[in-house]
Amino acid sequence: MDLLQERRQRLRQVTERIIGLPSLPTVVTQLLSIVGNPASSARDVSQLISTDQALTAKILKVANSAFYGFPRKIATVQLAIVVLGFETVKNLGLSVAVLKRFQQGNDHPLFDRQQFWEHAIGCGVAGRMLARGRNRKLEGEAFVAGVLHDIGKLVLIEYFPDEFGEALDQARDDLLSIAEAEEQVIGVTHAQIGGWLAEKWKLPESLVEAIAYHHAPQDVEEPDEILIITHMANALTRHNRIGSGGDRLGASLSPGVAEVFKNGRDISDDVLLAGLSEGFREEIETARVFTDLEGELFETPGDNPTTEDDGGGAPVGA
Ligand SMILES: [Fe+2]
Ligand SMILES: [Fe+2]
């Protein structure tokens, strides 16, 4: 269809323009390259992070939260790196930077930013939990993949609010998944857009793949473990109704990924999801620090000072 083709082309052009910008703060780009270099030391990393006070404060806040459950106080970034490891600190930096990049934007009655972040952080927690049962080394990466998997929706709401709004309406009216509705209305899904963005940001290939194919792992010949985990994490988060991704559908599970987790057992998808959900809600509580962090990031400087955290629920609205 002409209209669809025209839209797809325009969207690609605009996305190319957005992703052509140096969207990630320099400190994070430098962080990624330092951590990727085997010759770098904890000292290099802590020195770099120390140049960014806001990042330092946020990393220490998360490092000291129940999410990591470390018994003693971690007072410096250097100690955080020693205790939590390079990988974790890098992943934290990345999550915080991306949350910050998309701190504000348009609204739509069917797209609740708060619900969106609950879903994203829920997926991160689910990913970390699933990685623990499969390959502990992947916990940090699985967390980031979960947090970022739907990042394409933030590009859509920010740069294509009308088209994305139309897709949201259609998903509701025709009981479609948001990805199906995007395909029909826009001709591209949030997964593809997120994949382009991740690629331009030079994120690791496993993250690019997990973001781009999280709704279609079957399209990848040999799916990476992070993709398998992220697909399941998304299903688990929907199954448990944590936040919302913009449609009202429950979990949709690719048969191939379900098989991996069933591991030869003759059980239904529902039984599988129920089994994997054990302990999920408790673990989400420990990740509350991220929801709070996101609340802080939403503040505009000099605007709306929020009250001190009283340990209560996440901020509402925005
Ligand atoms: Fe998605
Ligand atoms: Fe999702």
> Residue 234: nearest ligand to its CA?
2
Identify which has the larger pLDDT, 82 or 94. Answer: 82
* Closest ligand, as measured to the CA of 182: 1
Ligand 1 centroid to 191 CA: how many Å? 6
Q: How confident is the model at residue 314 (pLDDT cuts 50, 70, 90)?
A: very low
How much distance in Å is there from the Cα of 228 to the middle of ligand 1? 14
Distance (Å) from CA 212 to ligand 1 centroid? 9
What does the pLDDT read at residue 258?
97
By CB atoms closer than 10 A (0-12, 13-18, 19+), residue 78 is middle
Reduce the DSSP state of residue 108 to 3 states and report it.
strand
Residue 299 has pLDDT above 50, yes or no: no
Tokens 């949201």 correspond to 168
Q: Give the tens place of pLDDT for each residue, 136-181.
A: 889 888 988 998 999 999 888 888 889 899 999 999 999 998 999 9
Residue 88 φ then ψ, to 5°: -65, -45
Residue 98, token pair as written in the block: 């991306």
Distance 51 CA to ligand 1 centre (A): 35
Q: What is the mean pLDDT of residues 233-251?
A: 86
Q: What is the pLDDT of residue 246?
A: 74
CB-based contact 298:316 (threshold 8 Å) = no
- Rounded alpha-carbon distances, angstroms, from residue 259 to 124, 209, 217, 229, 266: 22, 20, 13, 12, 10
Ligand 1 centroid vs 166 CA: distance in angstroms? Answer: 17
The Å distance, Cα 118 to ligand 1 centre, comes to: 13
Write down the pLDDT at residue 23: 57
Q: What whole-number distance in Å separates Cα of residue 209 and Cα of residue 179?
A: 16
- What is the average per-residue pLDDT within 300-307? 36
- Quick one: residue 229, left, alpha or beta (phi over 0 = left, psi -120 to 50 = alpha)? alpha
Under DSSP, the state recorded for 76 is S
Mean pLDDT value across residues 90-113: 75
Domain spans in the chain, listed from the N-terminal domain onward: 2-298
What separation in Å is there between the alpha carbon of 191 and the centre of ligand 2? 9
How confident is the model over 223-245, as a mean pLDDT?
Answer: 94
Nearest-ligand number for the alpha carbon of 147:
2
Q: Indicate the angle between helix axes 86-101 and 53-63, nearest 10 degrees.
A: 120
Q: Which residue has the tokens 């030391």?
A: 41
| Cα(19) to centroid(ligand 2), Å | 21
The closest ligand to the CA of 171 turns out to be: 1
Q: Which ligand number lies closest to the CA of residue 181?
A: 1
Of residues 71 and 8, more confidently modeled: 71
Residue 41 CA to ligand 1 center (angstroms) comes to 36
Examine the pLDDT at 298 and tell me if it is beyond 70. Answer: no
Q: List the end-to-end C-alpha distance of the chain, in Å, as a whole number.
A: 37
| Cα 40 to ligand 2 centre (Å) | 35
Q: Distance from the CA of 74 to the center of ligand 1, in angstroms? A: 35
Ligand nearest to the CA of 191: 1
User: What separation in Å is there between the alpha carbon of 107 and the centre of ligand 2?
Assistant: 18
Structure tokens at 205: 């290939």
pLDDT score at 289: 78
Cβ distance 139 to 132 under 8 Å?
Answer: yes
> Which value, in Å, is the radius of gyration of the alpha carbons in the chain?
19
Q: 150: CA distance to ligand 1 center in Å?
A: 5
CA 76 to chain centroid, in Å, comes to 26
Ligand 2 centre distance from Cα of residue 78 (Å): 34
176-217 per-position pLDDT tens digit: 989 999 998 888 899 998 998 888 777 889 999 999 999 999
Please work out, in degrees rounded to the nearest 5, the angle formed at the alpha carbon of residue 137 by the alpha carbons of 285 and 145. 60
* Eight-class DSSP state of 201: T
Choice between 68 and 103, residue whose per-residue pLDDT is larger: 68
2-298 CATH pick, 1.20.1440.130, 2.30.30.230, 1.10.3210.10, 1.20.140.10: 1.10.3210.10
CA of 149 to the centre of ligand 1 (A): 6
pLDDT of residue 155: 85
> How many whole angstroms from 133 Cα to the centroid of ligand 2?
21
Tell me how far apart the alpha carbons of residues 96 and 257 are, in angstroms, rounded to a whole number.
29
Q: What is the pLDDT of residue 266?
A: 97
Q: Which of 19-33, 184-198, 221-235, 243-257 has the lowest mean pLDDT?
A: 19-33
